[in-house]
């Protein structure tokens, strides 16, 4: 009798645990659904691809042979992802791009262990996959994107906030990003490599000193809220710009101090800041150089200190300008 009673109690407990787990799972799903309401509503087919990482049928997408001039936005959150200038015909059956809007697309290892998935950096929507070394364009990169993950807006219809871009190199890019990313007016920061001659460089290649690249920070900002000159002054206040090819314990050409300007206006502003520093008695070693292609660094470098909870070891803020 005791044995039978024990079995009955055990069954009740198991059923109770199963029911609790089911309720918790449903609650999690409900919570996820509530979260997605902040984004654009999706059809079941859009959700299959964008949320559940599916793939639309080849040659069936709206933008596979589309030739319009404008921006391609994320279907889920309206973030700008690609420009039509970077779209090309690969013959693969899906829209192909050899470049993205800076910082708009994140690369992560695919669950299949072989490919690299691309997602919207803003909302995590599945876009497709990226492939290198196929030789389709000079950039040797193909973003293979599902049309259903995108929406298109002509250039003349795009009336969102005007943004600008700045590139700074000041030693280990972890610390530069940490001290600049929360500045008012800064929209997005991305660490990477600039100033060299090697395409698609890896961190190991840059560290070898053979690529000519410097570890750098790309800053996307709203010029109505923060000026380029103010960002440049902040850059000089967070690193030792008197050191040559080093920053603290980090030694090498990749750790050099540099401002990489995009136009004459930025060049003039950077030179003006250096002139002010020289007038204060500083011997400035910072290079002011025309920017070439910026290469995004590996994912594990992005917002390193925020992710790890550590603190910069060779960067500290020191007020210099009034």
Residues tagged active-site: 144, 172
Q: Which residue has the higher pLDDT, 3 or 92?
A: 92
Say what the pLDDT of residue 51 is.
96
Question: What is the SS3 assignment for 22?
Answer: helix
Say what the pLDDT of residue 287 is.
97
Residue located via tokens 């787990």: 21
How far apart CA 124 and CA 101 sit, in angstroms, is 15
Say what the pLDDT of residue 210 is.
94
Query: Any idea which fold 164-308 has?
Result: 3.30.1060
DSSP secondary structure letters along 28-64: HHHHHHHHHTTS----HHHHHHHTT---PPTT-STTS
- Sequence ranges of the domains in the chain: 44-157, 164-308
Q: What is the pTM of this model?
A: 0.55
- pLDDT exceeds 70 at position 7: no
Q: pLDDT category, 3, cuts 50, 70, 90?
A: very low
Say what the pLDDT of residue 126 is.
97
Pairing of strands 214-221, 164-170: antiparallel
Q: pLDDT category, 182, cuts 50, 70, 90?
A: confident
How far apart CA 135 and CA 139 sit, in angstroms, is 8
- pLDDT exceeds 80 at position 16: no
- pLDDT exceeds 90 at position 6: no
Say what the pLDDT of residue 160 is.
55
Say what the pLDDT of residue 156 is.
76
Q: pLDDT category, 150, cuts 50, 70, 90?
A: very high
How far apart CA 274 and CA 268 sit, in angstroms, is 10
- pLDDT exceeds 70 at position 242: yes
When mean pLDDT is compared across 22-36, 226-240, 270-284, the lowest value belongs to: 22-36
**Model confidence pLDDT, tens digit, residues 93-103:** 999 999 999 88
- pLDDT exceeds 70 at position 15: no
Question: What is the SS3 assignment for 149?
Answer: helix
Residues 6+ apart with CB under 8 A from 311: 305
Say what the pLDDT of residue 67 is.
92
How far apart CA 69 and CA 149 sit, in angstroms, is 18
- Domain 44-157, CATH among 3.40.50.1820, 3.30.499.10, 2.170.150.20, 1.20.1090.10: 2.170.150.20
Q: pLDDT category, 57, cuts 50, 70, 90?
A: very high
When mean pLDDT is compared across 161-170, 203-212, 246-255, the lowest value belongs to: 161-170
- Give the closest residue to 168 by CA, choosing from 268, 257, 266, 233: 257
Q: Which residue has the higher pLDDT, 154 or 145?
A: 145
């Amino acid at each position: 009798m005791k044995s039978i009673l024990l079995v009955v109690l055990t069954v009740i407990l198991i059923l109770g645990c199963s029911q609790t787990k089911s309720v918790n799972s449903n609650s999690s799903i409900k919570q996820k659904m509530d979260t997605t309401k902040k984004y654009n509503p999706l059809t079941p087919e859009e959700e299959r691809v964008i949320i559940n990482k599916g793939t639309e049928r080849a040659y069936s997408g709206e933008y596979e042979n589309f030739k319009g001039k404008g921006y391609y936005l994320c279907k889920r959150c309206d973030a700008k992802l690609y420009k039509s200038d970077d779209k090309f015909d690969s013959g693969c059956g899906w829209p192909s791009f050899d470049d993205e809007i800076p910082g708009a697309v994140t690369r992560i290892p695919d669950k299949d262990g072989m490919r690299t998935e691309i997602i919207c950096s803003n909302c995590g929507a599945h876009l497709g996959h990226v492939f290198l070394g196929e030789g389709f364009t000079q950039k040797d990169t193909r973003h293979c994107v599902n049309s259903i993950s995108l929406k298109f807006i002509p250039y003349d219809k795009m009336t969102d906030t005007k943004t600008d871009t700045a590139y700074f190199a000041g030693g280990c890019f972890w610390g530069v990003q940490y001290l600049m990313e929360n500045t008012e007016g800064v929209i997005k920061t991305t660490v990477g490599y600039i100033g060299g001659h090697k395409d698609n460089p890896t961190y190991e290649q840059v560290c070898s000193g053979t690529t000519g690249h410097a570890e750098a920070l790309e800053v996307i900002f709203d010029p109505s809220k923060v000026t380029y000159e103010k960002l440049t002054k902040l850059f000089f206040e967070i690193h030792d710009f008197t050191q040559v090819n080093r920053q603290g314990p980090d030694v090498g050409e990749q750790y050099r101090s540099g401002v990489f300007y995009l136009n004459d206006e930025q060049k003039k502003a950077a030179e003006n800041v250096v002139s002010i520093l020289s007038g204060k008695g500083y011997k400035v070693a910072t290079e002011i150089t025309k920017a070439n292609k910026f290469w995004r660094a590996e994912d594990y470098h992005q917002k390193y200190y925020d992710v790890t909870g550590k603190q910069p070891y060779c960067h500290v803020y020191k007020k210099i300008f009034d």
